[in-house]
Structure 1
């Protein structure tokens, strides 16, 4: 999965974002760059978080920005990865809702999306992989993590 992020250029490394909205916008950039999603998609995700709260922070340090299934402006099913060096807060009263790793989901094919979700959740259930991703700073780091933990 990490190799796919590198091959598709669906990754980004950044120092920080000024707030969670900026982080979501930044996390969508790799998907916008190749037409996977349209420019409106990031604002749809932000609107969902404003409406439903920080449901996208699935475990401490890890956010999974996404909008509704079949959202307008989604042209392909894909995931992009972004790592911030400094965490962004989704809830100033709850540090568990800080995130540095962003896996941004775009879905227009339910079967492919389900497969992506299963592979992603399997990867994120391994604490060593999450710890390694928190230390990653380049595409070669992503490929090393893939080789070490995910190649069977």
Structure 2
């Protein structure tokens, strides 16, 4: 899965984001760059988080930004990866909602989306993968992690 992110150029490494809204915008940039999503998609995700709270932080350090399936402006089903060196806070009263790893989801094909979700869930259930991703600094590291942990 990480190899696919590299091949599709659906990855980004950054030092920090000014806040969680900026982090979501940054995490969508690589999906916008190749036409997977339109510019409005990041605003839709931000609006959902503002309305429903930080539901996108699925485990400490890991966020999964997304809007509803078949969202307006989504042209392909894909996932992108972004790593920040400094975490962003989604809830100042709950540090468990801080995130550094972002897996941004775009979906217009339910079957493909479900497959992506299963693969992502399987990958994130491996604590060694998460630890390695938190240390990753470039695409070479992503390929190494993919080769080491995900070629099962």
TM-based fold match above 0.5: yes
Shift of 1:150: 0.5
- The residue aligned with 1:96 is 96
What's the CA shift string for 1:7-41, capped at 9, x where partnerless? 00000000000000000000000000000000000
Match of 2:112, SS state, is helix
What's the CA shift string for 1:57-94, capped at 9, x where partnerless? 00000000000011000000000000000000000000
- The residue aligned with 1:75 is 75
User: Partners in 2 of 1:55 and 1:137 — Cα distance?
Assistant: 27
- The residue aligned with 2:138 is 138
- The residue aligned with 2:8 is 8
TM-score, structure 2 normalization: 1.00
Shift of 1:143: 0.1
Match of 1:68, SS state, is coil
Match of 2:81, SS state, is strand
User: Partners in 1 of 2:68 and 2:117 — Cα distance?
Assistant: 14
> Where does 1:54-133 land on structure 2 (aligned, <5 Å)?
54-133=54-133
Match of 2:38, SS state, is coil
Match of 2:87, SS state, is strand
Match of 2:82, SS state, is strand
Unaligned runs of 5+ in 1: none
Misfit runs of 4+, over 6 Å: none
- The residue aligned with 2:33 is 33
TM-score, structure 1 normalization: 1.00
Give aligned pairs, total: 152
- The residue aligned with 2:49 is 49
RMSD of aligned C-alpha atoms?
Answer: 0.3
User: Partners in 1 of 2:72 and 2:39 — Cα distance?
Assistant: 10
Unaligned runs of 5+ in 2: none
